[in-house]
Amino acid sequence: MNSPSDLQSTRSRDRILDLLLKAEAPLSVQAAARELGVSRNAAHQQMVALEREGLIERDIAIRTKGRPSQGYRLSEKGGATFPRQYALLAKQMLEELARVLGPAELEQSMERIGLSLANSLRSSVGDDQSERLVQIAALMRQLGYESAAIDGPDGVEIEAHNCVFHDLALADRAICGVDLALLRSLSGREVEHRRCMALGGRSCRFAFSEPGESPDRDR
């Protein structure tokens, strides 16, 4: 159970993030202390902790009565702590695309998105075929998947225990084309979607053809 001091610290921390979200200029420790109604030392400790977590970052100095004072602003990571309805907006966008494009063109669009994403990540994948799927699984983790390269019945597979598109895939499995195109392009192999969470699977599993059997569509 959290102590009263822990709860107060959490409230102060959240309040600082909220202040920085709404601030039009970098916020000094002194200004934060004044807004929070705490001592300058207490505010400084909170801001140092937030900076250590990567939630805030130092900005240009602010002058107060002729003396320079360090300012702080939200970092990209700090801004991401605030609620965002990406899933809802993405679902609406996918439904509109499906209505305008039709099933075949929607699948082609998802494939192009996957190929574009693969092109932006290609420099992180080496030429060693024995390590490539491990590297791709690591890249997927950076994108938000809980993924790993595992031994399958026909060779190494990639398994993901979550899907960043899960809600969208439940609405329209065309979105799975992004994953398939990404994996096919980065691996240089054909990909089989052997298990899919959108169809009730415990995870998504992707099997790959043998090296050298390059997919014609990416040539």
| CB within 8 Å of 33: residues ≥ 6 apart | 39, 40, 42, 43, 44
Per CATH, the number for 4-79 is: 1.10.10.10
Nearest to 159 by CA among 147, 176, 151, 167: 147
- Distance, first Cα to last Cα, the chain: 59
- Cite the residue boundaries of each domain of the chain with CATH code 1.10.10.10: 4-79
Q: Is the pLDDT of residue 219 over 50?
A: no
| Residue type present at position 44 | H
Using CA of residue 147, residue 175, residue 219, residue 121, what is the dihedral sign?
Answer: negative
Quote the strand ranges of 18-164, DSSP E.
27-28, 56-64, 67-74, 147-152, 155-160
Q: How many CB atoms lie within 10 A of CB 157?
A: 21
Q: Quick one: fold of 86-218? A: H-NOX domain (3.90.1520)
Q: How many CB atoms lie within 10 A of CB 2?
A: 9
The predicted pLDDT at position 8 comes to 55
pLDDT digits (tens, 9 = 90+) for 45-63: 999 999 999 999 988 655 6
Q: Is the pLDDT of residue 6 over 70?
A: no
Enter the pTM of the model. Answer: 0.64
Exposure string of 22-31, with b = 16+ CB inside 10 Å and e = fewer, is ebeebbbbeb
* pLDDT band per the 50, 70, 90 thresholds, residue 25: confident
Nearest to 181 by CA among 170, 165, 197: 165
pLDDT digits (tens, 9 = 90+) for 146-191: 999 999 998 999 999 988 888 889 888 999 999 999 999 999 999 9
| Weakest-pLDDT range from 10-19, 91-100, 146-155 | 10-19
- Cite the residue boundaries of each domain of the chain with CATH code 3.90.1520.10: 86-218
